[in-house]
Amino acid sequence: MSNSRLKDRIALVTGASRGIGRAVALAFAKEGAHVIALARRTGALEELDDDIQAIGGTATLLRLNLTDGGKIDGLGPTILERFGRLDVLVGNAAILGPLSPLNHISEKDWNDVLTVNLSANWRLIRTLDPLLRKSDAGRAIFVSSGAARHFKAYWGPYSVSKAALEALVKTYAAEVSDTDVRVNLVDPGVVATAMRAKAMPGENPATIAKPEDLAETFIRLASPDFTENGSVVHG
């Protein structure tokens, strides 16, 4: 392990099995954090664990679907019992949903996108805020998108969910402003992920940023000496 900027920090990362979440989990582990890796797929989590162990890091694997509100609500008590606190929360997991005219979007698709991209993050805040306050420097980082501020036809559910996420996170930041917790968002820009490939199937992924290119941004925001609050930081 080459660095230790997050030595002994306890960090939870959602959507940790691939893309940005996986890159962040590996980077945090390399910097000395114990990573609580949360994702839907057991196999991908186990592969991540192998890679974390290979660099001398440690992880706890949690298979959890963010549509299951009850299980999200149980995270706080579980982590409290195991670790006693949480130092870093990275709310990364999201789904794209259909790219379609608003009047063609089904109620199920609308609800699915809002549940994963918005409501799950509210549940994470609700259950994990007491643990972040137990840290000497709790840090919460949520992944936004340019779609939260630049609106394009056919991107309705995703854009709405990310715009609402920014409002949610900035409200939370205001509520913790007089504590040791700091809360921010990352707008990663154009990054070669599975979601990007689904949205832009004709794009050459070799011509855009890789998830690993964002690692340093997340390390900086997770560090105890990062004191900005309520900002959207561009990756």
Distance CA 147, CA 84 (A): 36
Residue 217 lies in a domain: yes
Distance CA 141, CA 124 (A): 12
Q: How many domains does the chain have?
A: 1
What Cα–Cα distance (Å) separates residue 181 from each residue in 7, 27, 49, 166? Answer: 18, 21, 28, 17
Residue pLDDT, tens place only, 166-207: 999 999 999 999 999 999 999 998 877 888 788 888 778 888
State the sign of the Cα–Cα–Cα–Cα dihedral 22, 111, 114, 69: negative
Residue 111 lies in a domain: yes
State which residues form the domain around 185: 10-234
Q: Calculate the average pLDDT of the chain.
A: 95
**CATH number, position 144:** 3.40.50.720
Residues 6+ apart with CB under 8 A from 189: 146, 209, 234, 235
Predicted local distance difference test score (pLDDT) of residue 199: 81
Predicted local distance difference test score (pLDDT) of residue 198: 85
Residue 133 lies in a domain: yes
Is pLDDT at 2 greater than 70 in this prediction?
A: no
Averaged pLDDT, 31-44: 96
Residue 2 lies in a domain: no
Distance CA 172, CA 184 (A): 9
Residue 27 lies in a domain: yes
SS3 category, 13: strand
158 is catalytic: yes
Residue pLDDT, tens place only, 6-15: 999 999 999 9
Residue pLDDT, tens place only, 201-228: 877 888 878 999 999 999 999 999 999 9
Out of 158, 186, 191, 221, the active site residue is 158
Residue for token digits 């007089």?
178
Averaged pLDDT, 30-56: 97
Q: Which two tokens stand for residue 25?
A: 């989990």
